[in-house]
């Protein structure tokens, strides 16, 4: 059930059998949300965190004028709101982009296993720092890259992240979002997202339709998106 989660942890560090058992022991229940549902609301005080098991989820901030900024996308295996363990409440919403299932891990259990296994505390601390690294890379995109570079960068990032959990088939992966939502990630309008998408398709870099991304030319897409995997910390190291 949380196999993808362990797969992802093990891409970056070693998790021994005891630690694995301790993690698994914390999963008491799973919850399910339909597409569009709000999983965690800003400022809501939490006593549990959730691991995304299936579906696509996002962190997002609603603006006063009705606009919305998507801050990060979560793929299966991600601890979507592990940061609430120390923050206690979030500064943003967590929403289900497509129908999602989550494993629920009580904060009491996180506390217990991180005290019993200090290494696990560092592994999960690392996991939140990795999310922060993704946030920073999105800052770079939003602040310093134009629309097509942002879009190319996003498709590259998701390619790598889906690949890590075995969810890439050939050069395609599922991305069940609308162009409106892509626009909300990139900080542009839906109309402009549409035109940018057409540009990338015309150039043979990538196609997106019916919720499926198909990479036409990864090398060139990476160059256009100024993409470098460094910020995803793909090397295994003892934390």
Partner DNA sequence: CGAGCAGTTGAAAGAGCTCAAAACTAGTGG
Partner DNA sequence: CCACTAGTTTTGAGCTCTTTCAACTGCTCG
Q: Which does 178 bind (CB under 5 to 8 A by kind): a copy of itself, DNA, none?
A: DNA
Partners of 49 in beta bridges = 105
Is 238 among the residues that bind DNA (CB under 7 A)? no
Which helix (DSSP H) or strand (DSSP E) does residue 54 occupy? strand 48-54
Q: How far is the CB of 58 from DNA (least distance, A)?
A: 14
| Site residues for a copy of itself per CB under 8 A | 42-43, 59, 61, 63-64, 67-69, 71-72, 83, 85-88, 91-92, 111, 114-115, 118, 121-122, 125-126, 128-133, 135-140, 142-144, 186-187, 226, 230-231, 233, 237, 239
As a whole number of angstroms, the distance between CA 177 and CA 162 comes to 15
Query: Pattern 193-212, binding to DNA, x per CB under 7 A?
Result: -xxxxx----------xx--
Say how far residue 118 (Cα) sits from the centre of its chain. 25
Partners of 214 in beta bridges = 172, 207
Count of residues of this chain found to bind DNA when the rule CB under 7 A is applied:
19
Q: Which does 87 bind (CB under 5 to 8 A by kind): a copy of itself, DNA, none?
A: a copy of itself
Structure token pair of residue 140: 């770079």
Q: Which does 46 bind (CB under 5 to 8 A by kind): a copy of itself, DNA, none?
A: none
Q: Which of residues 213-232 bind DNA (CB under 7 A)?
A: none
Q: Are strands 212-215 and 172-174 parallel, antiparallel or unpaired?
A: antiparallel
Q: How far is the CB of 1 from a copy of itself (least distance, A)?
A: 26
Which residues touch 121 (CB under 8 Å, ≥6 apart)?
Answer: 114, 115
Judged by CB under 7 A, which of 94, 147, 200, 221 binds DNA? 147
Q: How far is the CB of 199 from DNA (least distance, A)?
A: 9
As a whole number of angstroms, the distance between CA 80 and CA 72 comes to 10
As a whole number of angstroms, the distance between CA 172 and CA 182 comes to 17
């Amino acid at each position: 059930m949380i196999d993808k989660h362990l797969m992802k942890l093990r891409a970056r560090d070693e998790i021994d059998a005891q630690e694995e058992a301790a993690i698994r022991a914390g999963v008491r229940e799973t919850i399910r949300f339909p597409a569009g549902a709000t999983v965690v609301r800003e400022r809501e005080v939490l006593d549990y965190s959730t691991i995304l098991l299936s579906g696509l989820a996002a962190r997002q901030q609603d603006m006063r004028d009705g606009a919305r900024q998507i801050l990060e996308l979560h793929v299966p295996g991600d601890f979507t709101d592990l940061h609430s363990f120390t923050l206690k409440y979030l500064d943003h919403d967590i929403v289900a982009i497509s129908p999602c299932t989550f494993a629920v891990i009580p904060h009491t259990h996180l506390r217990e296993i991180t005290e019993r296994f200090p290494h696990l505390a560092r592994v999960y601390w690392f996991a939140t720092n990795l999310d922060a690294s993704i946030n920073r890379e999105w800052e770079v995109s939003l602040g310093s890259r134009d629309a097509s570079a942002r879009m190319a960068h996003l498709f590259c990032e998701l390619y790598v992240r889906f690949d890590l959990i075995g969810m890439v088939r050939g050069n395609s992966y599922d991305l069940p979002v609308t162009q409106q939502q892509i626009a909300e990630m990139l900080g542009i309008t839906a109309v402009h997202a549409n035109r940018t998408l057409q540009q990338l398709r015309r150039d043979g870099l990538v196609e997106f339709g019916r919720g499926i991304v198909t990479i036409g030319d990864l090398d060139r897409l990476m160059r256009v998106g100024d993409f470098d995997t460094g910020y995803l910390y793909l090397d295994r190291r003892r934390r």
